[in-house]
Amino acid sequence: MATKILIIGACGQIGTELTIRLREIYGNDNVIAGDIREGSEELMQSGPFEIVDAMNRTSIEDVCLHYEINEVYLMAAMLSATAEKYPKKAWNLNMDSLFHILNIAKEGKIDKIFWPSSIAVFGPTTPKENTPQQTVMEPSTVYGISKQTGERWCEYYYNKYGVDVRSIRYPGLISWKTLPGGGTTDYAVEIFHEALKNNHYDCFLKEDTSLPMMFMEDAIKATVSIMQTKSENIKQRSSYNLAGMTFTPAEIASEITKHLPDFTVTYQPDFRQSIADSWPGSIDDSVAREDWS
């Protein structure tokens, strides 16, 4: 049977590029983009699109039934900085949407789930450098709490009901096709747009704030890879650490000035600084490398 995929949150920063990549692999008609709003021209014209509300189980189930979906990528979420402004709304979106998908899979209506976690699951008491797969987790943000809780539920549904759910703890992601959607690492995308537009950027983090980052293409590659791996190789049913590179706002600004010599940055840390300070500076993803290469 052909792989039929539904991506919920397909118009977001990750979802947009993930949808395009999966359509290249599985065929345009086999990858359905779902979101509460329309997306980029490339996404809308390359394959099927359906209005899907991640908070509405019936909305999800109807699309799954209509297209005979067997894999769901749940990319809809309220990210770290936005979630701090709307804690209850963020909790409801991040958790209810996950339960809808887990329960649909539990009932045998879909075969496989991808659900993204984040480095936000770590907290101020987590080892800062080379953060291991298993370690202290005391997240201090609504987003981090929801992601840590989600990890536990994913593992529970796998152990209790055999639900094939797979997950990656994304670091900060750098892309250019879609603007970021309210995360603490967003400066690393915004800085390029502002450099080209205004030759200046007001950075909301301190210049020496070191955070784990990854280029979007690598994150997409890892996401596709974990979903294509044989089930028996996926040993972590909570979520896997994933690492790319680590840098600071000052370092990225320095690189930009090599291309735009007059580019300037001012550093005006806001509430997002305390979020960044609670996260690791670098990640050990050796377990992911060992389990699914």
Q: What is d(CA 101, CA 163) in angstroms, rounded to the nearest whole number?
A: 10
Our answer to whether residue 201 is catalytic in this structure is no
Which residues make Cβ contacts (< 8 Å) with residue 232, sequence separation at least 6? Answer: none
Return the closest-CA partner of residue 226 out of 178, 283, 168. 168
Which residues make Cβ contacts (< 8 Å) with residue 79, sequence separation at least 6? Answer: 143, 181, 182, 183, 184
Distances (CA, A) of 204 to 27, 89, 103: 41, 24, 39
Residue count of the chain, please give it: 293
Single out the catalytic residue among 73, 143, 158, 187.
143
3-state class (DSSP) for residue 237: coil
Q: Are 175 and 13 in contact (CB under 8 A)?
A: yes
Q: What is d(CA 28, CA 20) in angstroms, rounded to the nearest whole number?
A: 8
Count CB atoms within 10 A of the CB of residue 284: 17
Axis crossing angle, helix 249-257 with helix 187-198, rounded to the nearest 10: 30
Provide the annotated active-site residues. Answer: 143
